[in-house]
Amino acid sequence: MSTFSDRAKPLQLFGVQVWSIEQISLFQKLHTSRAQRLRSSPRSPHLSVPSRATARGMPWKRSRRDHLSQQHGAAKDRREALRDILHIAVNAGEEEAFQQLEQERTKAEEESARLLNEAREKAAKVKEDAERYITKMRRKLQEDRAALEEENAEIKRRLQEDRTVLEEEVTSMEKAHTFQSSKILLNVGGHRFETSLQSLTSVPHTYFASLFSGRFELASDAKGAYFIDRDGKNFHYILNFLRDSGSFKLSSNMM
């Protein structure tokens, strides 16, 4: 069952407070009843004046004037009642408007706080993701740097090895060049022969071509001669063949 306060609340129509005819009639009945109670009270001058006038036997015109005065007082009471109704309606509307504004402000503050918290959470997540990505990239850069340093060290080591091999080869070639451009002294069975490396290595796949190819370390005597443990009596024929293998002819004395 609805109470008077519930029935006295205004309606909301498109955001505007509207008082229904029933509510206005209810306020009018309320204040009419109040005015009637005031007139029926012993203190009411509107009822006491006609009674005294009638008791004294005053003329009809004065009674009519008193009656008009009573009607005027009733109209004034109705105006006051209507003013009270409007005052109550305005106060109720203002109170409800203030309550609605307060509710809207509270909702707006809650929504702002929620949005701010969401923004802070998203910012914290973005910051965390960025820090994680930076840490990952730093780790990857360190790994790549370590791999590059290791690769550079391997390249340097290989270059050093190639350089060493090249230097050894250059040294060996220099020795071979020196060996090839110098005179060769041979001690064949006590017979000494003097020739060049070019003559001794002119015919490939021979003993002297292999011996003086530079692949073997040879030792000479105190006079710089290389000893060959063979009969040196006819060795000069071998030297002549090596010096000119294309036109060499063996003497008939050796046949």
Q: What's the pLDDT tens digit per position in 220-244?
A: 888 889 999 888 888 888 888 888 8
Contact 172, 215 (CB under 8 A): no
Q: For position 19, what pLDDT does the model report?
A: 56
> Residue 246 burial (CB < 10 Å; 0-12/13-18/19+)?
exposed
Distance CA 27, CA 85 (A): 6
The torsion angle over the Cα atoms of residues 173, 178, 179 and 182, rounded to 10 degrees, is 160
**Strands of the 225-228 sheet, one edge to the other:** 191-196, 183-188, 225-228
> 20-25, long-range: CB within 8 Å, 24+ apart, which pairs?
24/85
Q: Identity (one letter) of the amino acid at 166?
A: L
Question: What is the pLDDT tens value at each position of the chain, 255 positions in all?
Answer: 445 455 555 555 445 455 556 666 666 677 677 667 666 655 544 444 444 444 444 555 566 667 677 777 777 777 777 777 777 767 776 777 788 888 888 999 999 999 999 999 999 999 999 999 999 999 999 999 999 999 999 999 999 999 998 888 877 776 666 555 568 899 999 999 999 888 888 888 888 888 888 888 888 888 889 999 888 888 888 888 888 877 766 666 655
Distance CA 11, CA 20 (A): 8
Residue ranges covered by each domain of the chain? 4-114, 182-254
Q: For position 48, what pLDDT does the model report?
A: 45
Q: What's the pLDDT tens digit per position in 166-199?
A: 888 877 776 666 555 568 899 999 999 999 888 8
Tell me which residue has tokens 């692949």. Answer: 215
CA atoms within 13 A on the CB side of 69: 13
Domain at 182-254, CATH class:
alpha beta
Q: Are strands 183-188 and 225-228 parallel, antiparallel or unpaired?
A: parallel
Contact 187, 225 (CB under 8 A): yes
